Structure formats: structure tokens, C-alpha cells
Amino acid sequence: MAITTQQLLQILPNAGAKAGVFVPVLNTAMGRFQIVGSKRMAAFIAQIGHESGQLVYVREIWGPTPAQAKYEGRRDLGNSVPGDGLKFRGRGLIQITGRANYSACGEALGLDLINQPELLEQPKKACLSAAWFWATKGLNSLADADQFEMITRRINGGLNGQADRLKLWKRATEVLA
């Protein structure tokens, strides 16, 4: 089962023309990381839909906000060099964040994300990084069990934006049924 541009636009109407750009690379990434079947796909599309503002953003908007300022020097993100907070801000459809995550993602996908973090802003790599993150966090099994709140916690660390995520999940579940 692959998602069509029409289905993606029903779920993420604000994606507009970007839906057509993302559909083929989204389908490739979901297939590669076993995000297959309506439950997994609906949960994945809902989460990346929220994280990317419906495919509008592949790079975290930078203030820095007080939360973003705290990225600097965060050991849990592997940010050890001055400037790492900004350099390794959230990118891709699921917002890979921090030197350690960029390093692991780059190693898994065969990309030099430490020297070229902006590669995650390209549609194909934005999709692959999101699907890689999804798979490495064990989110397929949570999607199979309808554990949507736990999926949000593993992606976000909390429940930020949960109302929007749930709205998108409901819509995706209906469209992909």
C-alpha cells in the first residue's frame, strides 16, 4: 500500500504543491523502514504532518527561543562544540535534533550530516531521516497497538501539539482505511 498525492492532501491540506514532491520519496522511505499498512502509515503521516507544519518546514524555525537556547551544550543531544545548538537544530520531517542524532542518522543513511546538516532539508533525505528515526525508536509496534500518545512522547519528549497530532491521526486513519 502506497499513499497517493490525493490522500496526502486530504490528510495534510496545507502541504499544497509540496505533497506531489514528497509522495514518491515518502513512499520509498516508508517501504524501506517497514512503515506499511494503514495503522503504521496513519500514525507516521500524522506525526510528520505535525512536526513539519504539514510538509511546510524541514528546518526548525530559529529564534532562538528559550527552549532552543538550551540546545547549546546539551550532553543528551551530543552538543559538545560551541554553535552545535544552531548547527544541529531540528531538520527533516521529524526534526532530527542534536549532534549525536545527526551522527547516528548520517551513519545509518550513508550521509555526512556532521559536515552537511542541511542535507536533511532535501525532500528525499527529510523523509528517510524521519522513517529512520521512527524505526529506531520502535514506533511501528506502538502504531500497531494504537499507542499514539507513547509515539508522541518518543518523538517529542512530551505531548506538545498533541491535539493537532490527534486530529491529523484521525484524518489519516479515515483516509487510509
Catalytic site includes residue 51: yes
Count of Cβ atoms closer than 10 Å to residue 157 Cβ: 10
Q: Categorise residue 67: left if φ over 0, alpha if ψ from -120 to 50, beta otherwise.
A: alpha
User: Could you say which of 51, 60, 72, 107 is catalytic?
Assistant: 51
DSSP string, 96-160: B-SHHHHHHHHHHHT--TTT-GGGGGSHHHHHHHHHHHHHHTTHHHHHHTT-HHHHHHHHHSS-T
Q: What is the grid cell recorded at 85? A: 545548538
Cα–Cα dist 2/106, whole Å: 26
Q: Which residues are catalytically annotated? A: 51
